[in-house]
Structure formats: C-alpha cells, structure tokens
Amino acid sequence: METNEPIISRHNRHCLQCRSIAHNETLTTVEMTLQEKQITFTQNIARLIEFAYDSGFALTFGEVYRTVEQQKIYVETGRSKTMNSRHIQRLAVDFNIFVVDDDNGSVVMLFAPGIDNAQYERELAVARPLGDFWESLSPDNVWGADWNRNDLNDEKFRDPYHFEMKP
C-alpha cells in the first residue's frame, strides 16, 4: 500500500511498543485500550524482573490473574480492601521477594507472614529500590508499599510484594 506519510509516523501509529514508556512517549498523552495497557504492563514487569535480578533480588510469582469470585473471598477475609483489584484486569502481580542473607549466605524471603513492625521496616528499606524502579517506569505504575506514591511509610494497607498499573 502506497502512502505519502513518513514511515516513522506509520510505525508509531501501529506499534504497541512505541506507545509505551520505553520509547519515551508519555502514557498519559495516548489513550490506551485495556489490551494495550496489559501489554505495556507485561513489558514493564519484564523490566522489573531484570532489574531485580541485576540488583541481587530473586523473585517468584505469587499471584497474577484473579477471578471476581476469588477477589470476593479476599475482601471478605480482609486479605484485600477492594473489589476493584487490578489482578482482575490482569494489571497486577504479587511477587515473592528473596534476598541473600549477608551473614550466612542463605536465601531469605522478605515480608514473610508474621513479621513484626520493626522487621517490616527493615525489609521495606531493602525492597524500596524495586518499588522506586517500578514507579519510574510509568506514572501509572503503583507499588503496594507506596499506594499514594509519596515515598513515605504511611500506608494503612501494606502490600509490598504487589506491583500494579492503573487502567
């Protein structure tokens, strides 16, 4: 098909990747469909995983997709605060986050169930580079340890292994 428009213009209009932050376009200037948002989210998660391993973390997947029925159970049991979970939209992932203990070389999971507030604060400081990196990838990215993106530990619902993208 012949056209007089520049190749770069045609490329930008049809390439989903060019609509992402990786190509230095501001996401807020482009209206994205949910599918395009999910693709961008997945690309950002890949970058986060690479950053995590390059920074000495190890990750395993906790939960990604969640059904409405499962979300209802989580809300009823207090494990979640909303029925508007990004997991339902495939725009969130919970990771199990691991680091190597400098004292004995063992692999330790951060934010294990039952830790006290002091331990949570120590582990939050260790994990903060992951959250900061995640938020740097897109203005729509939110880390569960900093829901309001103010870098203060003022969250009422702590979810530091949760990484999401607003739709």
CATH of the domain at 47: 3.30.1380.10
Report how far residue 58's alpha carbon sits from residue 106's, in angstroms, rounded to the nearest whole number.
Answer: 12
| Structure confidence at residue 91 (pLDDT) | 98
Residue 19 counted as domain residue: no
Domain holding 161, by residue range, is 32-165
Residue 8 counted as domain residue: no
The CA-atom distances, in angstroms, between 110 and each of 41, 70, 113, 118 are: 23, 25, 9, 13
Can you give the pTM of this predicted structure?
0.78
The total domain count for the chain is 1
Q: What confidence category does residue 130 fall into, taking pLDDT thresholds of 50, 70 and 90?
A: very high
Residue position matching structure tokens 């969640």: 66
Q: Of 114, 118, 112, 100, give the one whose Cα is nearest residue 57.
A: 100
Residue 52 counted as domain residue: yes
Residue 18 counted as domain residue: no
| Structure confidence at residue 103 (pLDDT) | 86
pLDDT higher than threshold 60 for residue 155: yes
Residue 56 counted as domain residue: yes
Q: Of 17, 12, 35, 20, give the one whose Cα is nearest residue 139.
A: 20
Q: Count Cβ atoms below 10 Å from residue 84 Cβ, excluding itself.
A: 10
